Structure 1
Amino acid sequence: MERAVDFFRDRHMLCGHCGRRWVADLEWIDRWSDSQESCPGCGVTCEAEAGPRVTVDPDDFALQDDEITQFAWYHTSTHPDWPDFDPAASLNDDSRADMKSDALLDNWVDVKRAKALHVGTYEAAVENMLRRIYDHQDEPGTQFYLYRLHLVPTVAVRAGWIPDPGNWMGDVMLDEVCPPGVDVARYRNDREDAGGISLALGRTAILSVQRIEIPLLLDEDSGWVAAAVRELKEAGAEPPTSGVIRRDVTSPRYEKARELVAPLAERLPTSLGRQFVAATAFYARSIEDWAAYVIGLINIILAPEQALAWRFHGDLSSSRVKTEEGCSDLR
């Protein structure tokens, strides 16, 4: 079962100082984050330790225990084989040498695999990808995959929800949130899709996984891509292609790329607009690839129904994780 995707929806607010609850739109929240708005009950701003914060919608269907396994849940990752990827696969020779022995390497892998997996709404998954690029964890143009999964129908779900348990890197050990006898913990996501319910869980809670590559190109994209390529070619010289990423590049073509992205970013919520601009910066890639990437990336945000109707696929192989090939009948 799919939930309606809405990156622009209003959020529930809760003031820790006076207990006032209300619903605010994203423009109000953006002003509030700059201390330009305050609690309508007591007047405190976001600067107060117990000031207003985005909180969970009390009517969120994901709070109902009998509904949680009916939903599709989402995640974005650079791993093409998530969730069964090998943590050691990304280590270079120097990092492996630092482990000193196979036993230490095995222990490091065990610790990595003991961390909870995080899944959430479609919006949270997309925002996770954009935030990682905005925070310089990944470079613009990095290949991401959008995963959709379903839970084992018999999973044991922790009662209620907890505040976002992740550390500054978003990591949390599974046994810290899922004690013995519990497979899934619900938490308020503070990083992406603020106030939405996300899940911390282990691999055994997952029944099936589907995957599509990001960006998502649609038939009608060719016109924008062709126009963008033409304007970029007319703009002037290429940016440096030394392989070294420079975030302060200034060139006619770089500036033209920013100009082309601007009207697309204006169609997004303010916070996502900033992240989208960072994710679509014109660095050392071909003009054609850049243009296709830009329009395909915004499709994931503004045309979610197209992404959800797309043919998910995957090559995961496990006696536990099953890959579903078609999803056009999901709604």
Structure 2
Amino acid sequence: MERSDGFNYGYAMNCTCGRVSVLSAEDYYVEADGAHMNCAHCGTSIHFGIAVAALRNQDDPALDDEAVTRFAWYHTSTEPDWPSSDYARRFIQDMEQNGHRPVNRAHYVSTHTTKALHLGTYETAVENMLRRMHDEHDGGSPFYLYRVAIELRPGRINPGYRDENHDDAAQLSISELDRDSLDAVRYLNVHEGTGLLSLAIRPEVITAVQRMPIPLPELALPPMPGFLDREITALAHAKDEMEAAQAKVESIPHGRRRMMYFGVYDDPDGLAKKAGDLEHRYIDLWNQLEDQLAEAYLPSASRPIRRDFNEAMGSWKSAHPTADPQTFISRYRAMAALIEKSPEVISELAHQPWRDLRSFGTRKRLKGRSQYL
């Protein structure tokens, strides 16, 4: 059973009076009135944002304990074999290869290899990927989309839901689930799909997963002949001018060149200033191009989602510095399909073979320790 909310949602905000008021995505994006809104019930001014985000649907079907196990849940990961029982070994191996030597090695490893897993809606999973691309240096990483089936024993999920603003769920550990005799914690997600319910679970509740790499080139949005031709030409010209100017100051260390640009050091010929100005112009033209791409290829997404998408694509571009505008646009069209063609993406994933994890989970329970990511 699917549970979808799209990428053009509004927001719900808590007031000190205990009631909830709704806010449009546009007002949220522009931070209308200095990010303030009046409570629809008592008139009190609410300083809106994730710190006071509320459940968007007070009758969210995920509040039904039995329905939770009937939903298809989603997850995005850079791991091709998520959830992997081999994660702890690879974590230690990477730590040692990178020369990282924490003071309390055992505690550090345990903290990072025994966390609960997180599941959400399709939209939440896609937004999580966008955030990771921009915030966690995964702009150039391959991603996989997972569709997850779970099984919960009666009474092993928390009543109601945990509000992530007051009781953090992101770092929830297996030991905390053990302490509370739970297999899953339902929580209000305020970071992706703000206002929806997500799950933090012990790996053993996963019975099976379907997986596919994303994006899917065959679902890419169609190209628009002639679209942005003038902008692409201007961008190429700006790049040539920038590189020619930078070549004249390449012998000057980058840090000193920046100080010359800001007037801290002398720039007698104005070459550092010119190179800096042309670099800023080139960046501005790229930003304008990305804004136009969002208008054309993300018509169903709200402005906050478009912003997050473009930030993620900017990180992809940084990870692929030799990519030209046409290559970038091609990737943009493929990524945009995750938002604009979500039913087709879900359908494609739903037709992938299931990987059965039931016996795998049983073995892990017998060992008494979870080491998945």
User: 1:118 is paired with a residue of what secondary structure?
Assistant: strand
TM-score by length of 1: 0.77
Identify which of 329, 344, 347 aligns with 1:309.
347
2:360 maps to: 320
Unaligned 5+ segments in structure 1 are 242-247, 323-331
Looking at structure 1, the residues matched to 235 and 168 of structure 2 have their Cα atoms a distance apart, in angstroms, of 44
Conserved 8 A contact 1:141-1:280: no
TM-score (norm 2): 0.69
Question: Contact 2:210–2:354 at 8 Å: present in 1 too?
Answer: no
Q: Distance in 2 between matches of 1:128 and 1:304?
A: 15
* Paired position in structure 2 for 1:286: 323
Report SS of the residue matched to 1:182. coil
8 Å CA contact 1:229–1:291 kept in 2: the answer is: no
Correspondence for 2:74: 74
TM-aligned CA deviation for residue 257 of structure 1:
4.0
Q: Which has the higher helix share?
A: 2
CA contact 1:232–1:256 (8 Å) conserved in 2: no
Tell me the alpha carbon deviations over residues 122-156 of structure 1, each in whole angstroms, 9 at most, x when there is no partner: 1111111222334x312434322211101025362
Cα distance 1:249–1:114, how it changes in 2: closer, same or farther (>3 A)?
farther
Is contact 1:158–1:186 with CA below 8 Å preserved after alignment?
yes
For residue 175 of structure 2, give the secondary structure of its aligned residue in structure 1.
helix
Q: Is the alpha carbon distance of 1:119 and 1:215 closer, same or farther for their aligned partners in structure 2, counting shifts above 3 Å?
A: same
Q: Which runs of 5+ in 2 are unaligned?
A: 244-278, 363-373
1:171 lines up with 2:171 in the alignment: yes
Query: Aligned pair count?
Result: 308
Letter in 1 for 2:215: P
Q: Does 1:25 align with 2:18?
A: no
Q: Return closer, same or farther for 1:261/1:223 CA change in 2, 3 Å cut-off.
A: closer
Q: 1:307 to 1:230 in 2, by over 3 A?
A: farther
Name the structure 2 match of 1:119: 119
Counterpart residue type for residue 282 of structure 2: S
What residue in structure 1 maps to residue 40 of structure 2? 40
> Residues 34 and 230 (structure 1 numbering): CA distance in 2 closer, same or farther, change over 3 Å?
same
Render the CA deviation track for 1:303-323: whole Å, top value 9, x for unaligned.
Answer: 11011111465896853269x
Question: Does 181-190 or 1-10 show the bigger shift?
Answer: 1-10
C-alpha change, 1:213 and 1:166, in structure 2 (3 Å) is farther
Q: How does 1:8-19 map to 2 (within 5 A)?
A: 8-15=8-15, 17-19=16-18
Quickly say closer, same or farther: Cα 1:39–1:180, change in 2 above 3 A.
closer
Q: Which residue of 2 aligns with 1:143?
A: 142
Identical aligned residues as a percent: 26
Return the offset for 1:227.
Answer: 5.8
* CA displacement at 1:74 relative to structure 2: 1.1
